[in-house]
Structure 1
Amino acid sequence: MKIKIVLAVLFAAVLSGCVGTPDAEGWRSAQKNEFLKILKTDKYASICDQQSLYANVKESENSKLMTKLLVAYTKNLANGCIVDPSLTVKEGEKTIVGYGTYSQKVSESDIKMKLKAGQSIENILKPYVPTFNQFSCLIKAHERLKNDSNTSASTLRKIRLNIERVKLMKPGLGENYALINIPEFVVRIIEKKKTAVMMNVVVGKRKMKTPMFSADLSYITLNPQWNVPDSIARNEVIPDLLKDPGYLTKNRMVMRSTYDLNSKKLSPSSVNLNAYVGGKGYVPFKFIEVPSEKNGLGRVKFIFPNHHSVYMHDTQSKHLFKRKVRTYSHGCVRLAKPSLMLDYISKNYTSTTPEEIKEKYDSLKTHYVKVTKRLPVHTAYFTTYMDECNNLLQFDDIYGFDKSHKLNF
């Protein structure tokens, strides 16, 4: 197997035109020239915290130092140059690392093997270059604007932060995907680099942030029931129910032993509600808002399974879409035009006919529609975004992540 890998690497090297006499470190003159050219413009915005090493390499062209810089450059390209300890999420008592980041393994020995085999530097870096077009678009914008005396330092820093955020996204964005840009309060469905659908959204409050992650759309729920999370039950529903015994009826809610509407019926008087007021933790009974035209989740949910329990959905609070800052949810993403999203996804990503969708929708009963074609959903935090790679859009740092990130360059 190892022989096959070595032969494959050598074949790639021949194709790249870098085969020649290597030095003791494995560098050929063509590779050195190529790497220095990449570094001169910082083509992939990954010199980052290696500025002093780069200065030494540029002056000496020392092969050992150049290898060290190549490894560092690749790691910066693969996993970014910013580390924010706040980017974690708590699930119960566990803290999950990698909240919004998808690290890639970078093997120093593999890089050295490819280098010694004569592969071009571009080939060595290629597996780690983000395919999301925002990467190249933002780099080009940064290059253009840093030479413009009218561009502020804060704008340049903002663009650089968002270049780094692209690196932290899950590799293999997909040719078609949904992108929820949290600070912009917008979701787009992108088809072959073009925006096919775009609409405003409401995202999580500052204390209940919408997380950054990637997951595939799995199914659509028509006429959903709302399973009230235990945290909301403790801090909102139970306190209101203690004040007003008619709260459940007024809000079209029922109380059950589980989130199954067919499970055992319970009444508020059958449990000690005061024991479950406030705080966190498991609640041994459940509140469910039944499907209806006035359901808090509206008439449709779009489910992309994830451990954050975040999804896109309709909402009764249409007035919130008139506001510029739309941070009002518990973390889920509310859609301004759910019917448009339903129509587009059902026609293009399910095998269910429009007639069947309408029949299920009009029934006011819960139905599930399976997504049959892959559509990744990415929630992201871009405070700068290149619209179709033409216009630089800038947005407020609603969660304070721009401020909290430390740039090491």
Structure 2
Amino acid sequence: MKIWSAIAAIVIVFTVVSCNSKGEKKENSKVAKEVLPELKLSIDSIKIADFYTAYPKLAKFKNDVKTLYKKNNNTQLWLDNKGVVEFGNTLFNQYKGLDQEGLKANFPYNEKISPIFENNNAENKLSKESTDLMITNLYFYYAEKLYAGFDEKTSISLEWLLPRKKLNYQVLTDSIFKKSTISDDKKSKMFSQYYKLRDALRTYRAIEKNGGWKNIEKGEDFKSIKLGDSTAVVGQIRERLFVSGDIKENSKSNICDSTLITAVKNFESHHGTTPKNIISAEHIAEMNVPVSERIKTIIANMERCRWIDPELEKGKEFIEVNIPEFKLYVVRNGEIVFISNVVVGKAMTKTVIFSGMMNNIVFSPYWNVPPSIIKKEIKPGMAKNKNYLAQKNLEWNNGAVRQLPGKNNSLGLVKFLFPNSNNIYLHDTPAKSLFERDSRAFSHGCVRVAKPRELAIELLKNDPSWTPQKIDKAMHAGKENWVSLKKKIPVYIGYFTCWVDRKGDLNFYKDVYQRDESLIKLLTEE
């Protein structure tokens, strides 16, 4: 009887409103709101348990869902008398737009969630309680997909050992009650590089939609192009760079002029090669990488960004190494204060993706030779030459082998330590010529620094007891000298094959360890 009384009251209210004047409608609309019964669905632990029995693929969200409903007095979150609240429709639209985030929208029960929002709810056969629970699970699915990415087990399987970001569902779920969007960039929920790559994704997808760029046909006898040369290939290069925005105007000229050379050099600097005054076959090969492949690279690196805690980049001072870029940066108070080229591990002895805390700088270091090198190189050398150790400046040390300090030491004149189980550190090297190459994966796993002296000066600049002159003396003393840093410095060794720099330019780097393919496969299969 109460239900029918309520319905009768609603009918009477709407009849009165329709008969009154415009001025009276405003007043009676308040009455209508007061008379309309507030929707109160009971969604307790029993109904939640029944829901996950019916929809087991969502079970991982169960505890978070129970907590969320308890916070809302075990009542609905997404429904009112009119149906799904506006914020629920916003969530569904964001879910359907996951492709803009480089992701596929594959909610496990898409056939159940879609009818709730599409076709005016005509095909939704779920109960109101299950409808509300299904939307809540969509919320957690969307949040995990967008903000966390693949779980830690998957990222570790991809050899990513940097600390993972912890997704704070408590903060995210607050947005439900505030009815605010959960993808608000201003809240800085993500590593800032993510948003820059997302903008790049939009740009490259627009290029793809317009047909992308044509393959440059250079012919088998092609050698290089220099300033003043005239060939049809020049026109193709000019068009290619115009499509990607690397050159502002396409004159369609087949003569290689200074404008084209400048544009190509700029392209080279953003694609991992040293700018030259000629256009080589290598440069053209880089230009011929299809836009679809560039898009996959961007998407893979957006996923890596999801794994990084945005607090990392807020540190007062830290060192970062990007393996595919072969570069080291010192960042202080948000500014890059030092840059150096580096050599990283070979494909067989990869530099590990991880982090540590630098605590010591060692001048004129010994090199403690790893057992693997003793077995593979030193013992065979000794078998052939009884003076092998002396000629290599090596000595036995308590059953192990170490190389004496000096300019020919494999670690050079200084090393930088951040204790870790991988036995990886930064160091100088006598093999300076390797830094001149574009691809610099030659080490046994440690990171060789092109400017070690300058790095030591930069890291010790706030210690008055270590002047540049004293650092020079210690580096050439021929005697090992350990220096403890007054404050430990975080070191992050990462792996990004594309990166938007601080000037806003998108850079692509060679996938030196072939890590992109497996990640892209996971993303496209999801």
> TM-score range, shorter-chain basis?
0.7 to 0.9
- Counterpart of 2:307? 168
Q: CA deviation at 1:26?
A: 2.0
1:216 to 2:357 alignment:
yes
Is the 1:79–1:104 Cα contact (8 Å) retained in structure 2? yes
Structure 1 residue 81 corresponds to structure 2 residue 150: yes
Q: Structure 1 or 2: larger helix share?
A: 2
- Select the residue among 130, 142, 164 that pairs with 2:190: 130
Matches within 5 A, 1:387-398: 387-388=501-502, 390-398=504-512
The 1-side partners of 2:428 and 2:150 are apart by 37
The CA RMSD measured in Å over matched residues stands at 3.4
Distance 1:25 1:45 in 2: 29
Alignment of 1:10-409 (within 5 A): 24-27=75-78, 29=85, 31-32=87-88, 35-36=91-92, 38-39=94-95, 41-42=97-98, 45=101, 47-48=103-104, 50=106, 57=113, 60-61=116-117, 62-81=131-150, 87-88=156-157, 99-104=160-165, 106=167, 110=170, 114=174, 118=178, 120-122=180-182, 129-131=189-191, 133-149=192-208, 150=212, 152-169=291-308, 172-175=311-314, 176-257=317-398, 285-348=399-462, 350=463, 352-354=465-467, 355-388=469-502, 390-405=504-519, 406=521, 407=523, 408-409=525-526
2 CA distance for matches of 1:372 and 1:322?
34
Amino acid at match of 2:301: N
Tell me the SS of whatever aligns to 2:329: strand
Question: Bigger CA drift: 116-125 or 195-204?
Answer: 116-125
One-letter code of the match for 1:130?
M
Corresponding position of 1:274: none
- 1:351-407 CA-to-partner distances (Å, cap 9, x unmatched) read 643154344334332122222335321111111111115111111111111122222
C-alpha separation in 2, matches of 1:192 and 1:55: 49
Query: In 2, distance between residues paired with 1:159 and 1:388?
Result: 17
**Are the aligned partners of 1:47 and 1:54 in contact in 2 as well (CA < 8 Å)?**
no
Q: Answer whether contact 1:84 1:404 (CA < 8 A) is retained.
A: no
Q: For each residue in 1:237-274, what CA deviation from the matched residue of structure 2 results, as whole angstroms up to 9, or x when unmatched?
A: 111111111111011111021xxxxxxxxxxxxxxxxx
Query: What displacement does 1:144 show?
Result: 2.1
Q: 2: distance between equivalents of 1:184 and 1:238?
A: 35
Is the 1:49–1:81 contact (alpha carbons within 8 Å) kept by the matching residues of 2?
A: no
Q: 1:292, 1:299 within 8 Å by CA — same for their partners in 2?
A: yes
Larger Rg: 2
Contact 1:202 1:326 in 2 (8 A): yes
Q: Does the 8 Å CA contact 2:413/2:428 hold for their aligned counterparts? A: yes
Q: What SS does the aligned partner of 2:479 have?
A: coil
8 Å Cα contact 2:96/2:105 also seen in 1: no
Contact 2:98/2:105 (8 A) holds in 1: no
Change in Cα spacing, 1:56 to 1:190, as seen in structure 2 (3 Å) is: farther
Aligned residue type for 2:204: L
TM-score, normalisation: structure 2: 0.59
Change (3 A) 1:204 1:127: farther
1:286 to partner: Cα distance: 0.5
For residues 139 and 347 of structure 1, the distance between their equivalents in structure 2, rounded to whole angstroms, comes to 37
Cα distance, 1:200–1:116 mapped onto 2, change above 3 Å: closer
Seen in structure 2, the aligned counterparts of structure 1 residues 317 and 292 have a Cα distance that, compared at 3 Å, is: same
Partners of 1:312 and 1:335 within 8 A in 2: yes
TM-score (norm. length: structure 1): 0.75
CA distance in 2, matches of 1:126, 1:241: 63
Tell which deviates more after alignment, 67-76 or 297-306: 67-76
Which residue identity does 2:161 align to in structure 1? G
- Residues 53 and 69, structure 1, Cα contact 8 Å, conserved in 2: no
- Taking CA–CA contacts closer than 8 Å with sequence separation of 6 or more, which of the two structures ends up with the larger relative contact order? 1
**Structure 1 pair 402/369, CA: closer, same or farther in 2 (3 Å)?**
same
Q: CA deviation at 1:30?
A: 5.6
Instruction: Give the 3 Å change call, closer, same or farther, for CA 368–387 of structure 1 in structure 2.
Output: same
Q: Aligned equivalents of 2:74 and 2:330: distance in 1?
A: 49
Instruction: Report the Cα offset of residue 23 of structure 1.
Output: 9.7
Amino acid at match of 1:211: V
| Gap runs ≥5 in structure 1 | 1-20, 89-96, 258-284
Give the AA of the match of 1:188: Y
Does the 8 Å CA contact 1:114/1:124 hold for their aligned counterparts? no
Tell me, in whole angstroms, the C-alpha distance in 1 between the residues paired with 2:115 and 2:200: 29
Distance 2:100 2:363 in 1: 44
CA contact (8 A) 1:185 1:201 kept: yes
Instruction: Identify if the C-alpha distance between structure 1 residues 336 and 27 changes in structure 2 by more than 3 Å, giving closer, same or farther.
Output: same
Q: What is aligned with 2:53?
A: none
Equivalent pairs counted in the alignment come to 351
Instruction: Write the distance in 2 (CA, Å) between the matches of 1:366 and 1:308.
Output: 23
Task: Please list the CA deviations of residues 300-356 of structure 1 after superposition, one character each: whole Å capped at 9, or x if unmatched.
Answer: 1111221111111100111111222111100001111111211111115x5643154
Corresponding letter in the other structure for 2:193: Q
Q: How far does the alpha carbon of each residue in 1:43-78 deviate from its partner, in whole angstroms, 9 at most, with x for none?
A: 993754536767864652453332212212222344
Identity %: 27
User: Using a 3 Å threshold, how does the CA distance of structure 1 residues 84 and 316 change in structure 2: closer, same or farther?
Assistant: farther
